[in-house]
Structure 1
Amino acid sequence: MNFATFDLNLLRVLDAVLREGSTVKAAERLGLSQPAVSNALSRLRHALGDELFVRHGNRLVPTDYAASIREGLGEEFNRLEHLLTPPESFDPALASGRFKIAASDFFAELLMPALGDRLNRTAPNVRAQLVELVPDDYVRSVEQYGADLALIPDTDLPAWINRKALFRSSFVVIARATNPRIAGVPQGAELPIDRFCAMSHVLFSPEGKFAAMGDSALARVGRQRQVAMTLPVFSGVCRVVSESDLIALVPEQLANRLASGLGLKIFRPPFEIVPARIVAIWHRRSDANPMASWVRDQIFDLLKPLDTMAAP
């Protein structure tokens, strides 16, 4: 294919047929006649060297090649639309596109349900994706995973990254309410350090490490704990605690959200742990992207209730 002479308007036809599965419906979508759409498909088949669609009953089924470029083609049209849309004319109700968030599953519990509800009501054609962070180098999530936004513990950032402080989260100890090792310790009280260190722990660690912030804090007071298990997701940590006599250190906001439903009790740790400062980061190139800017603002607004301490 000679790209210099290729008619890019033909790709609009391909995108429409991929979406509609019919030349008639694609013609209606594009404001063209059905013969015009069929003629465009014929030219595309010749230019791309692929049949593109095979008929199956009343529908056109994409070939493997056409199916392989479906999502990428749609995303490129979305990017062009955003590129050519003046920010002041952005209307979320009419917008369509994808917004990818890289974050731990903490945000699956504390952001995505509310974000799903808001997008469904105000921007029904904007799709949100939550993907895991790149292990050991969270900033790379913006590059390697193409994330539009990453929600991470605060860290040094390269010049091409923008940052917004969101909230700080203290850590608390969780245990199932029937755990015999917590007998006599009131809900919300400090768990005695001897008991904390003697009990077996489950640790959140996407990388499978057996030590984290809590272990560093313990080491400063000359103590250590017994980590019996690591899990890459907070939901798994909380589930293990709810069904065993293991305990865990987890962010306070998550514990407050899940404790009642999982039958957990919450205690203060018997040593000082510096609260984690959570920030949002994104590539500077998307600062002026109307849809990305709007979705970021929705996310920041939805996360405000988590800021129980001022986040500078």
Structure 2
Amino acid sequence: MNFRQLDLNLLRVLAAIHRTGSVTAAGKALALSQPATSNALARLRDYFQDDLFVRSPGGLQPTRLCERLAPEVQTQLQMLETAVTVRDDFDPARSDMRWRLSLSDLGEMMFLPPLAAALRQQAPQARLTNISVAADDVPAALESREIDFAIGILQPHHRGVRAELLFREHYVAMTSPRWRPASGKAGRTLSARQLAESSLVVAAPTATFHGSVEQMLVRMKLGDRVVIRARHFGALPELALNTDLLTIVPQMYAANVGQRMDMRVWELPRAAAPSYDVRLVWHASTAKDPAHQWIRAQVHRLFGRAQGAA
């Protein structure tokens, strides 16, 4: 017997006849005609070189080979049906789903706490793991299922990768509450001159580096004003709070940290302030999965401030 030559649809007929004890009843259960079911049985007999079923006063009786095969076939068919059936009964309160996402260090500080709080409240048995993936490698990580989704400054142009714009962000300046510009009035917005007179500390995380801040510094000829370049945003508040340095950070981060640490937030010159889009990205293979739809809905509910896909 060569398994590759076996039509696996015939196994459904085998299981149905064994379950019903009748070719006619099995055909009705499978929505097959009686001749089609009889033909399938004939092909099964030819493949296994066994009668499989013999007639008796009580109906068709399985042979010893069939009695060994049919229950195992039925079990495997049920497992396969369970595996391929798309379920629409995802219950976050009962699910032990394990999601894997990718966030930068800044993204982890901004997005992970609210998302974790939502999970603990609505899906207490679920698990969430942040996996470090460089921005350029996110599409490949999604395709390989290394991660399920990512949030960040991402512009994927890869087949099979989908994206949704969550919000548009811009950079601001943040300083100690005692800090004042070297010249001019201390209003809400720093002038180009005031910025040029400041000593700066900026972050340039390797894996998720966003070049717009560096581009702004080059454009405004402020590169020589950078005193410290840190690898992570987490160090910037303390550096600014305890020195005379001015740091440039996303507005969302500044609003969060500013309240907790009593930092002062300044708008940058409008023509110079960098801005960027924050997107949620995922792979098309999970687009209709109820568990993945649910977690993406939570992300959009918590952080979405824009409509439509990007």
TM beyond 0.5: yes
Structure 1 residues 196-211: aligned runs within 5 Å: 196-207=195-206
- The answer to whether the 8 A contact 1:99-1:129 is kept is yes
- The answer to whether the 8 A contact 2:258-2:264 is kept is yes
Q: Counterparts of 2:302 and 2:265 in 1: how far apart (Å)?
A: 24
Q: CA deviation at 1:210?
A: 9.8
* Structure-2 change in CA distance of 1:208 and 1:167 (3 Å): closer
RMSD (Å) for aligned C-alpha atoms: 3.2
Residue 247 of structure 1 corresponds to: 246
Residue 57 of structure 1 corresponds to: none
- The answer to whether the 8 A contact 2:165-2:279 is kept is yes
Q: CA deviation at 1:145?
A: 8.1
Q: Counterparts of 1:260 and 1:218 in 2: how far apart (Å)?
A: 27
- The answer to whether the 8 A contact 2:134-2:207 is kept is no
- The answer to whether the 8 A contact 1:209-1:230 is kept is no
Deviates more, 1:292-301 or 1:80-89: 80-89
Q: Counterparts of 2:82 and 2:296 in 1: how far apart (Å)?
A: 15
Structure 2 gap ranges (5+) = 1-79
What SS is found at the alignment partner of 2:257? helix
Q: Counterparts of 1:183 and 1:291 in 2: how far apart (Å)?
A: 55
1:181-203 C-alpha deviation (Å, 9 max, x unpaired): 4687536x221323322322222
- The answer to whether the 8 A contact 2:151-2:280 is kept is yes
Which residue identity does 1:202 align to in structure 2? V
Q: Counterparts of 1:239 and 1:85 in 2: how far apart (Å)?
A: 52
* Structure-2 change in CA distance of 1:84 and 1:311 (3 Å): closer
Structure 1 residues 118-157: aligned runs within 5 Å: 118-134=118-134, 137-142=137-142, 146-157=146-157
Q: CA deviation at 1:232?
A: 3.0
Q: Counterparts of 1:104 and 1:310 in 2: how far apart (Å)?
A: 24
- The answer to whether the 8 A contact 1:167-1:277 is kept is yes
Q: CA deviation at 1:153?
A: 1.5
Residue 65 of structure 1 corresponds to: none
* Structure-2 change in CA distance of 1:199 and 1:262 (3 Å): same
What SS is found at the alignment partner of 1:89? coil
Deviates more, 1:141-150 or 1:85-94: 141-150
Residue 294 of structure 2 corresponds to: 294
Structure 1 residues 200-239: aligned runs within 5 Å: 200-207=199-206, 212-221=211-220, 224-239=223-238
Is 1:95 the counterpart of 2:88? The answer is no
- The answer to whether the 8 A contact 2:86-2:289 is kept is no
Q: CA deviation at 1:229?
A: 2.2
- The answer to whether the 8 A contact 2:182-2:197 is kept is no
What SS is found at the alignment partner of 2:146? coil
Is 1:194 the counterpart of 2:193? The answer is yes
Q: CA deviation at 1:226?
A: 2.1
Q: Counterparts of 2:135 and 2:275 in 1: how far apart (Å)?
A: 21
What SS is found at the alignment partner of 2:298? helix
Residue 3 of structure 1 corresponds to: none
Residue 267 of structure 1 corresponds to: 266
* Structure-2 change in CA distance of 1:126 and 1:81 (3 Å): farther
* Structure-2 change in CA distance of 1:297 and 1:86 (3 Å): same
Q: CA deviation at 1:118?
A: 1.5
1:261-310 C-alpha deviation (Å, 9 max, x unpaired): 22211111124234211111112112232212211111111113xx3899
Q: Counterparts of 1:112 and 1:96 in 2: how far apart (Å)?
A: 18
What SS is found at the alignment partner of 1:96? coil
* Structure-2 change in CA distance of 1:309 and 1:116 (3 Å): same
Structure 1 gap ranges (5+) = 1-79
The TM-score normalised by the length of structure 1 is 0.63
- The answer to whether the 8 A contact 1:103-1:131 is kept is yes
Q: Counterparts of 1:246 and 1:202 in 2: how far apart (Å)?
A: 6
- The answer to whether the 8 A contact 1:102-1:149 is kept is yes
Q: CA deviation at 1:174?
A: 0.6
The TM-score normalised by the length of structure 2 is 0.64
- The answer to whether the 8 A contact 1:168-1:311 is kept is no
Aligned length: 230
Residue 165 of structure 2 corresponds to: 165
